[in-house]
């Protein structure tokens, strides 16, 4: 009799423990997935190659590079390259340690290359304005090289160019955090730009190639 009572008590105790822990498991929230960690990158305008100048001999080239990540705008950087003929020339403008918070974060990078004999201060203002306005314009400015330059002309810069001065390369590139992450440790891309019609007395229409890159930190 005593053994039966003891076994019954043990049974009841086991049931209580089972119910208690079972209830706890039933009420526990499922583990939440951690949001993707933010990633950090370097965006760089590496170089450009001149296959054919816009001017009859040398082009006096100036470059701008700007970046937008989400709602944050990184102001345009400008570099004056000097008088150049055919060849490849290092630019090295870079935005380092840029945080991209999420896979769906939108990234826009713009660059412009201008042949101009004007004073550098004036040229810097044009390049900064052009690159920044392209960032603001967003995806509707993306497309063919000619469409990008048409947009730049609409903000009043194109009409300031005399003689053989003019745009020789430029772009508006839209990415996402997911796209950049898919590149892995690094990605490098080169794009070619056939020149716009130049005035009589200049060289044939220019041909430039521009290389940009992104590197994960």
pLDDT at 149: 80
pLDDT tens per residue across span 83-110: 999 999 999 999 999 999 999 999 999 9
pLDDT tens per residue across span 118-128: 889 989 998 99
Percent of all residues in the chain with a pLDDT value above 90, rounded to a whole number:
56
- Reported as a pLDDT band with limits 50, 70 and 90, residue 10 is low
CATH topology of domain 39-216: Immunoglobulin-like (2.60.40)
Strand order of the β-sheet with 59-69 is 72-84, 59-69, 106-115, 166-176
Q: Where are the domains of the chain?
A: 39-216
pLDDT at 21: 52
Query: Is residue 185 classed exposed, middle or buried when 0-12, 13-18 and 19+ CB atoms within 10 A define those classes?
Result: exposed
pLDDT at 141: 46
What is the total residue count of the chain? 217
């Amino acid at each position: 009799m005593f053994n039966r009572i003891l076994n019954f008590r043990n049974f009841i105790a086991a049931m209580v423990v089972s119910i208690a822990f079972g209830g706890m498991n039933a009420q526990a929230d499922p583990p939440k997935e951690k949001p993707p960690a933010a990633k950090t990158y370097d965006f760089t305008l590496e170089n450009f190659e001149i296959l054919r100048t816009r001017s009859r001999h040398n082009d006096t080239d100036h470059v701008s590079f700007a970046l937008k990540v989400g709602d944050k705008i990184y102001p345009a950087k400008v570099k004056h390259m000097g008088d150049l003929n055919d060849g490849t020339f290092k630019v090295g403008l870079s935005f380092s340690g840029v945080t991209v918070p999420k896979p769906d974060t939108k990234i826009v990078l713009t660059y412009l290359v201008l042949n101009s004999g004007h004073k550098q201060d004036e040229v810097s203002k044009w390049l900064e304005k052009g690159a920044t306005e392209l960032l603001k314009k967003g995806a509707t400015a993306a497309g063919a090289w000619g469409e990008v330059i048409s947009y730049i002309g609409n903000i009043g810069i194109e009409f300031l160019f005399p003689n053989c001065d003019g745009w020789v390369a430029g772009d508006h590139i839209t990415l996402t955090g997911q796209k950049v992450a898919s590149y892995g440790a690094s990605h490098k891309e080169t794009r070619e730009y056939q020149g716009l019609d130049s005035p009589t007395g200049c060289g044939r229409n220019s041909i430039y190639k521009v290389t940009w890159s992104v590197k994960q930190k």
